[in-house]
Amino acid sequence: MTSPLGQEWIVFSPLPEKTSIFHLPFISNSSQKVNSGLPKVKKRNSSSFFDFVMFKRIIPALLFTALTVSAWGQTTEKLKSTTVDFIRTLDSTQKETALIAFTDSARTQWTNLPLGLAPREGVRYGDLSEQSKIAFHQILSAVFSSQGYLKTFAIMQVDDILHELFEIQFQQGKVPERSMEFIRKLNWDYGNYYVALSGNPETDQSWAVKLEGHHISINLTVVGNEFSMTPLFFGSDPAVVEATQYAGLRPLSKEEDYGFWLINALDEGQKAKATLAGKVPGDIITSPDRPQWLEEYQGIKGSELNEGQQKILHYLIEEYIGNLDREKAEEYLAKLHARGMGEVYFAWIGSYEPMKAHYYVIHSPDFLIEYDNVGFLDNANHIHSIWREKGNDFGEDMLKKHRMDHKH
């Protein structure tokens, strides 16, 4: 398969439909290959897949950057038009509530807490008209792949399911009335997500859209012909629904499955290096009330993984990047391939088995991924995850560049 630039890409096929990643034969030492059940990648003159990806990487990366500027410009134009269309569906009261100044601190604050613990700026999603909801879906369709788009609304749906699960347990006498009163005040609900727009996309060079509520923080920032989608927080409680008609639903399934696949694909020495001492964190380390970036690299470096293990790490990274629409995903993948998988660190804390507390972090000079699964009942059925681009949370790097370019 070739890119529009004529650069050859290798496309990974998904696992066979009935293959369980927890029953794949894992490697026992670094010289062995992972028998993944995947179609074999055609061998090239280079010694490994990632050597091939790195081959002639400088010129393709430059060409990619030069030739996709216009494509990203088209994307921001689409984002602008869909956002303007959404604003026009709002009534005067909703506009006044939804629109805030670009300089308002609410633009650069985020939280994953439910509405009952953290009130939000903006207009409540559940209060939007059907016309407004349809228009807002167009914004999300423009910034997300179908994967990321469907995850967003599956997570919102799980909030309704979570409320229902506790109501069932209350009726069964498993949850005390006093606890249930507190739970109801948390306001778990599909409609309790808030849309805030910072700046005016019709007149301003810099503007932003935020969708936020329990287990979701989506932060789109547009500056001229560029845009960012970081920080991007997705969570799910429960991680796997165990009752009701939705039993079995797992909105963030691959984030968990590929993590276990990778850690269990390491030999004992590699696993010991990747695994950090200490208790599993109760949340991601870069949660809202903590420093927003990790300075120290920990765990095992990508250069210490064999070819098969690097592929699994690549799958896991792609699961996060793949939430974004094609142009932005390709931008991030181009950066990843230009720098090389050898510069990526992977670290793990906790159990190597599902339904027991575990955490991992993937850390490169360009991006950070965190995943935590502990749960209030310590049953590892409550996921928090985040994708961050270094230096560009809420468009920080883009805004700095824009100010420098327009300095008088």
| pLDDT, tens only, 216-241 | 999 999 999 999 999 999 999 999 99
| pLDDT value of position 97 | 97
Percent of the chain clearing pLDDT 90 (strictly above): 73
Q: Would you say 165 and 243 are in contact if contact means Cβ atoms under 8 Å apart?
A: yes
| pLDDT value of position 293 | 84
pLDDT band at residue 74 using 50, 70 and 90 as cut-offs: low
The stretch 23-38 carries a mean pLDDT of 34
Both structure tokens of 401: 């560049």
Strands 99-100 and 194-198, sheet pairing: parallel
Report the alpha-carbon distance of residue 281 to residue 373 in Å, rounded.
9
Q: Would you say 144 and 78 are in contact if contact means Cβ atoms under 8 Å apart?
A: no
Report the alpha-carbon distance of residue 260 to residue 245 in Å, rounded.
27
Q: What angle do helix axes 58-89 and 326-339 make, rounded to 10 degrees? A: 150
Strands 367-373 and 226-228, sheet pairing: unpaired
Report the alpha-carbon distance of residue 230 to residue 227 in Å, rounded.
10
Report the alpha-carbon distance of residue 117 to residue 310 in Å, rounded.
41
CB atoms within 10 A of CB 131: 13
Q: Would you say 343 and 302 are in contact if contact means Cβ atoms under 8 Å apart?
A: yes
Which carries the bigger pLDDT value, residue 141 or residue 28? 141
Is the model's pLDDT at 3 over the cut of 70?
no
The stretch 249-257 carries a mean pLDDT of 98
| pLDDT value of position 11 | 36
Which carries the bigger pLDDT value, residue 4 or residue 154? 154
Residue 275 carries which DSSP code? B
The stretch 116-122 carries a mean pLDDT of 95
Backbone angles phi, psi at 400, to 5 degrees: -60, -45
Strands 300-301 and 226-228, sheet pairing: unpaired
Q: Would you say 86 and 69 are in contact if contact means Cβ atoms under 8 Å apart?
A: no
Is the model's pLDDT at 301 over the cut of 60?
yes
Q: What are the strands, taking DSSP E only, across 17-117? A: 99-100
The stretch 159-178 carries a mean pLDDT of 93
Backbone angles phi, psi at 368, to 5 degrees: -140, 130
Read off the pLDDT of residues 329-368 as tens digits, 9 standing for 90 and up.
999 999 999 999 999 999 999 999 999 999 999 999 999 9
Q: Would you say 189 and 159 are in contact if contact means Cβ atoms under 8 Å apart?
A: yes
The stretch 234-263 carries a mean pLDDT of 97
Both structure tokens of 104: 């308002």
Read off the pLDDT of residues 267-281 as tens digits, 9 standing for 90 and up.
999 999 999 998 999
CB atoms within 10 A of CB 242: 13
Burial 269-304 (b: 16+ CB within 10 A, else e): ebeebbbeeeebbebbbbbbeeebebeeeebbbbeb
| pLDDT value of position 66 | 42
Spatial neighbors of 222 by CB under 8 A, at least 6 apart, are: 76, 79, 80, 201, 206, 207, 208, 395
Diameter of the chain measured on Cα atoms: 68
Please state, rounded to an integer, the average pLDDT across all residues of the chain. 84
Report the alpha-carbon distance of residue 116 to residue 118 in Å, rounded.
6
Read off the pLDDT of residues 378-405 as tens digits, 9 standing for 90 and up.
689 999 999 999 989 998 889 888 788 7
| pLDDT value of position 73 | 54
User: How big is the chain by its Cα radius of gyration, in Å?
Assistant: 22
CB atoms within 10 A of CB 149: 17
| pLDDT value of position 378 | 67
Is the model's pLDDT at 101 over the cut of 50?
yes
Bridge partners, 386 (sequence order)? 233, 370
Strands 206-213 and 216-223, sheet pairing: antiparallel
Is the model's pLDDT at 57 over the cut of 90?
no
Report the alpha-carbon distance of residue 160 to residue 150 in Å, rounded.
16
